[in-house]
A and B are shown apart, each in its own frame.
Chain A
Amino acid sequence: RKEVEQDPGPFNVPEGATVAFNCTYSNSASQSFFWYRQDCRKEPKLLMSVYSSGNEDGRFTAQLNRASQYISLLIRDSKLSDSATYLCVVSLSGGYNKLIFGAGTRLAVHP
């Protein structure tokens, strides 16, 4: 079983739609959680951290369920520029920033 699992998609949605991505992780000792965005043939960039209480950044909302070992990302009012691959990322305990990446979920927003 992969340490971080995501639906690879693609999710094809029209502009303005709301879309949700889910992710599960296998190691209950995971301490920190993130969503990264990766454009085609580009490097990953941090989109947002995910906190236990859930957090929002503009049109993006992230949720964490530690009991179910489940992370989600909700994108409201999708824009064409949101088209990218979204990487679910966890960090294990260990005192430093060793990141475990999911394979990503591809989003394509069309006019």
Chain B
Amino acid sequence: GAGVSQSPSNKVTEKGKDVELRCDPISGHTALYWYRQSLGQGLEFLIYFQGNSAPDKSGLPSDRFSAERTGGSVSTLTIQRTQQEDSAVYLCASSLVGAMRLAGYEQYFGPGTRLTVT
């Protein structure tokens, strides 16, 4: 079946511009996560959506970052006034459920969007 898809796969933008990154989770997955991976670093949690609950935004690095999940499916991560330190691979993941103690918690990752801010 179809996995998690992300678009665009690569994005080059000028410092100060806004960017939107899109994630299509696996159909039926209720939980959706955004991470970013900087060169040589581990994945950094950004935000988590679970069903209709309020998202956990605790990982967003600044108020320039925001994310939405419309209709419980597609999610968009927006970065306003991009800075060079925003350059990274932005990864989206989804899981059937969000609770660790339940079966189906494994997170499946999309291929990522490689963002370069010049």
Contact = CB atoms under 8 A, between A and B. Distances in A.
Question: Interface size for chain B: under 10, 10 to 19, 20 to 34, or 35 or more residues?
Answer: 20 to 34
A97 B45 contact: no
Nearest to A49: B106
A96 B43 contact: no
Nearest to A96: B98
A97 B107 CA distance: 8
13 contacts: A31-B100, A43-B110, A43-B111, A46-B106, A87-B43, A97-B48, A97-B98, A97-B99, A97-B107, A98-B56, A100-B45, A101-B42, A103-B42
Interface in A38-88: 42-46, 87
Contact of B99 (A95, A102, A104): A95
B42 A97 contact: no
Interface residues of A, number: 22
Would you call the interface of chain A mostly helix, strand, loop, or mixed? loop
Interface in B57-101: 91, 95, 98-101
A31 B18 CA distance: 37
A91 interface: yes
A44 B43 contact: yes
A2 B41 CA distance: 11
Contacts of A87: 42-43
